C-alpha cells in the first residue's frame, strides 16, 4: 500500500488564516508534483468546502468527512492512491480536534503576530504534545517590516518550531478565494505566490523526515473511479 501523509491545520484562535492556507498549500503541493492531494474540511462553517465547490479545477480532490468517519475516510484515501491529505479544523480545542491531530504527520498552526493570537497558542501546543506530533508555527497575515513580526517569531520559538517563511497580509489572498482559485493560479510570480511556494517546500522537507518514505516525485495518479472529489454538500 502506498504511503500517504497528512497535514492538519489547527489553531484555537479564529481568523488565523487556517482555511486560506489549507487551500493554498494543497493546491501548491499538487502543482509541485506531490499529488494526488485531497482536502478535508472538519469545520462546521464549511468555508473550505464552499471554496472548493466554486473551484473549476477538480484538483486537489475533496473528501467530505466528519470526525466520526475520519479513520475510515483516510484509510480509503490511502487505498485510492492519494499521497497527501490536508485537513482544516474548527477554531476550537475539543476532544474531536485532538482525535484529528492524532492522524497528522505534522500539525501546522497559523498564528497572526498579535498579542491575542500569541496568548492563544497554548492549547494547540498541548494537543500536539499530548499526541506526540511535530508542531510548526506559521506566522500569517504579517505586516511588511513590522517589528512585532520578529517579536512574534521569538515568542513562538519558545513553544515549538517556527517556519522560516512568513506569510504577509495582502489582499490577493482573500480575493483569490472568492472564485475557487489561489494566488498561484492568478499570478504565479507575485510575492504571495512565492511565499506559498517557499512554505510548501519547507513543509515538504519536514514531511520527508517522517517515517514511511514520503517522496514528492512518487506521484502516480489516483484511480479514475475514486469516490472522493465529488462536490460537497451545501
Identify the residue with better confidence: 213 or 36: 36
Greatest pairwise CA separation for the chain in angstroms: 51
pLDDT at 112 over 80: yes
Residue 227: predicted pLDDT: 56
Q: Say how many Å lie between the first and final Cα of the chain, rounded.
A: 33
Identify the residue with better confidence: 1 or 213: 213
Residue 207: predicted pLDDT: 92
The pTM of this model reads 0.89
Residue 177: predicted pLDDT: 86
pLDDT band at 94, cuts 50/70/90?
confident
pLDDT at 219 over 70: no
pLDDT at 225 over 80: no
Q: Over 78-133, what HEC string results?
A: HHCCCCEEEEECCCCCCHHHHHHHCCCCEEEEEECCCHHHHHCCHHHHHHHHHHCC
pLDDT at 224 over 50: no
Helix (H/G/I), strand (E/B), else coil: 223: coil
Residue 209: predicted pLDDT: 81
What's the rounded Cα separation, in Å, for the pair 5 and 81? 11
- Give me the mean pLDDT over the 35-46 stretch: 92
Instruction: Indicate if the alpha-carbon torsion angle 60, 63, 64, 70 is positive or negative.
Output: negative
Q: Lowest-confidence range among 4-8, 80-84, 210-214?
A: 210-214
Please give the domain boundaries of the chain with CATH numbers for all domains. Answer: 5-208 (3.40.50.300)
| pLDDT tens per residue, range 122-152 | 999 999 999 999 999 999 999 888 889 999 9
Please, what is the average pLDDT of the chain?
A: 88
Amino acid at each position: 500500500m502506498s504511503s500517504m501523509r497528512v497535514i492538519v491545520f489547527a489553531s484555537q484562535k479564529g481568523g488565523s488564516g487556517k482555511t486560506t492556507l489549507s487551500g493554498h498549500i494543497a493546491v501548491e503541493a499538487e502543482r509541485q508534483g506531490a499529488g494526488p492531494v485531497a482536502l478535508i474540511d472538519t469545520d462546521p462553517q464549511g468555508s473550505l468546502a464552499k471554496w472548493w465547490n466554486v473551484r473549476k479545477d477538480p484538483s486537489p480532490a475533496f473528501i467530505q468527512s466528519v470526525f466520526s468517519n475520519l479513520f475510515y475516510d483516510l484509510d480509503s484515501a490511502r487505498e485510492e492512491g492519494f499521497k497527501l491529505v490536508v485537513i482544516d479544523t474548527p477554531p476550537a480545542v475539543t476532544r474531536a480536534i485532538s482525535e484529528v491531530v492524532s492522524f497528522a504527520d505534522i500539525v501546522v498552526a497559523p498564528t497572526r503576530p498579535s498579542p491575542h493570537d500569541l496568548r492563544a497558542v497554548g492549547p494547540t501546543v498541548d494537543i500536539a504534545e499530548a499526541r506526540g506530533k511535530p508542531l510548526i508555527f506559521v506566522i500569517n497575515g504579517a505586516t511588511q517590516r513590522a517589528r512585532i513580526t520578529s517579536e512574534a517569531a521569538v515568542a513562538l520559538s519558545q513553544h515549538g518550531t517556527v517556519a522560516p517563511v512568513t506569510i504577509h497580509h495582502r489582499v490577493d489572498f482573500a480575493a483569490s478565494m472568492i472564485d475557487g482559485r489561489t494566488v498561484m493560479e492568478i499570478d504565479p510570480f507575485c510575492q504571495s505566490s512565492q511565499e506559498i511556494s517557499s512554505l510548501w517546500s519547507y513543509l515538504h522537507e519536514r514531511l520527508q523526515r517522517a517515517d514511511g518514505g514520503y517522496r514528492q516525485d512518487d506521484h502516480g495518479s489516483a484511480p479514475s473511479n475514486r469516490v472522493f472529489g465529488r462536490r460537497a454538500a451545501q
